[in-house]
Amino acid sequence: MALYAISDLHLSFDQPKAMDVFGAEWRDHHLRIAENWRETVSDADTVLLAGDTSWAMRQRGADADLRFIADLPGKKILVQGNHDYWWDSTARLNATYNDALTFIKNSFAAYDDKTAICGSRGWICPNDKLFTPHDEKIYKREVARLARSLEMASSAGFGEIIVMLHYPPTNDKKEPSGFTELIDQYPVKCVVYGHLHGSACFYAGFMGLRKNARYFLTSCDFLKFCPMKIRAIG
């Protein structure tokens, strides 16, 4: 029962969007994702999807994209990205896709008997070159959402936590943030995030070991469109 992660699939089956405008590597990227996924992930595994799953604006438009993911091997757990405008009612999404897909927002999901998956969308962190006064309110709200997710998992008795965010939990200077402060307060072993694209941006977020947690960038172009194993069996 291995654990994998990938993000930023940017699917658009309902109203196709040419992704190769972002680089030749994005041409027919959904075919590469499906092929790599089937060669890598088994039905017993779990895959974390850290946001920006579909370009759709409404849940109905995202259905083909979500069904595409649901049909791939493994259990899938998702958080919202900044482009996931179709994500309106988490309860309705979980009811629609039953056990095929699990959507986290102000909640958590169990990975196994001792490990919980927590997360939120996240946001641009203070002191980032792109951070503006408008971002402050959203940033604080997303920190509060992560705090709620972590507290719920801890209160439920989970002694090990994996955090999934869409945005990097640090600014472009890789300084601590409200997100990393929370991560340090709980038994978090691993943090996965996406959002960063292109070689010029890949290393804007922190990767590696910080305190007791290891941080991974999982944007699909960074991973060559193949889910990355972040935890082996056992």
Q: Residue 68 belongs to a domain with what CATH number?
A: 3.60.21.10
Domain that holds residue 165: 3-231
What are the average pLDDT values for consecutive 10-residue runs of the chain, which has 234 residues? 96 88 89 98 97 96 97 98 96 93 97 96 97 97 98 97 98 97 97 94 94 96 97 60
Burial 217-229 (b: 16+ CB within 10 A, else e): bbbbbbbebbbbe
| Chain segment 86-135, per-residue pLDDT in tens | 999 999 999 999 889 999 999 999 999 999 999 999 999 999 999 999 99
Helix, strand, coil % over all residues of the chain, rounded to 5: 30, 25, 45
Query: How many domains, the chain?
Result: 1
pTM summary value: 0.96
47 alpha-carbon distance from chain centroid: 10
